[in-house]
Amino acid sequence: MSIPAAPRSIRRSHKIVPVLCLFLASLATLALAAYPIYVIRPFREQTPAALERALWVLMHNKPLLLMLASLITVLALLLWRHAGWVARSLLVPAMGITILAAVSSWINPYEKMFHPVGAPNFLASNLTTIDANDMVIAVTLGGESRAYPIREMGYHHIVNDRLHGLPIVVTY
C-alpha cells in the first residue's frame, strides 16, 4: 500500500508561508534602512517633522537592523533544509536584502559626498594665488585673522579650526 503524495506537497505549501513572511520582513528591513536616506535626499524640501523622524530613524536603526538581519538569516537557514526550489528562490534574496539593509545603515551616502577639512593648513596671504575680487569668509579673534576662500568652502563646506585658542567650525 503506497502512501499518498498529498502530505508531502501539503507540507511544502505550508512551508512557503513562513518563507514568504521572511521575504516580506527582509523588504521591511530595507525600508527601515532606506527611509532616512530617502527623506533627507538633496534638492527636495524637508518638512521639520519629516526631518526629525528621519534623523531619529537614522540614529537608532543600526542595532535594530543588525538584530533583525541576524534573526532573518538564522530563520532562513533553518527553513532552507525543508524548502523546495520556489521557497529557496525567496530565501536567498531575503537573506541578501536584509544583510544589505543592515550594512548600508552604517553608511550615509550624503556624508561621503562631502570632504570636510579636519586638519587645515594655512598660507601667508602673499603666498596665495587668490584673485583680489574673490570673496572670503574672514574671522578675526584677538588680533589673529583667517580667510577662508568661498571657492574652497563651496566644496568642503566645513572646516574645523582653532583661532586664538578658540575651537571654531567654519561652514558655508
- What does the binding site for other proteins look like in residue numbers (CB under 8 A)? 43-45, 51-52, 55-56, 59, 111, 115, 117, 120-125, 128, 130-141, 144-156, 158-159, 166, 168-171
Residues 6+ apart with CB under 8 A from 117: 156, 158, 159, 160
Residues 6+ apart with CB under 8 A from 169: 158, 159, 160, 161
15 vs 156, beta carbon nearer other proteins:
156
- Closest separation in Å from C-beta 73 to other proteins: 27
86 vs 117, beta carbon nearer other proteins:
117
- Closest separation in Å from C-beta 161 to other proteins: 8
Over the Cα atoms of the chain, what is R_g? 27
> Strand pairing partners for 144?
141
- Closest separation in Å from C-beta 107 to other proteins: 13
What is the rounded distance in angstroms from the CA atom of residue 27 to the CA atom of residue 23?
7
11 vs 62, beta carbon nearer other proteins:
62
What is the rounded distance in angstroms from the CA atom of residue 155 to the CA atom of residue 115?
8
38 vs 56, beta carbon nearer other proteins:
56
- Closest separation in Å from C-beta 167 to other proteins: 10
Q: What is the residue whose three cell numbers read 533544509?
A: 81
103 vs 166, beta carbon nearer other proteins:
166
> Cα angle at 75 between 69 and 78, to 5 degrees?
140
- Closest separation in Å from C-beta 157 to other proteins: 8
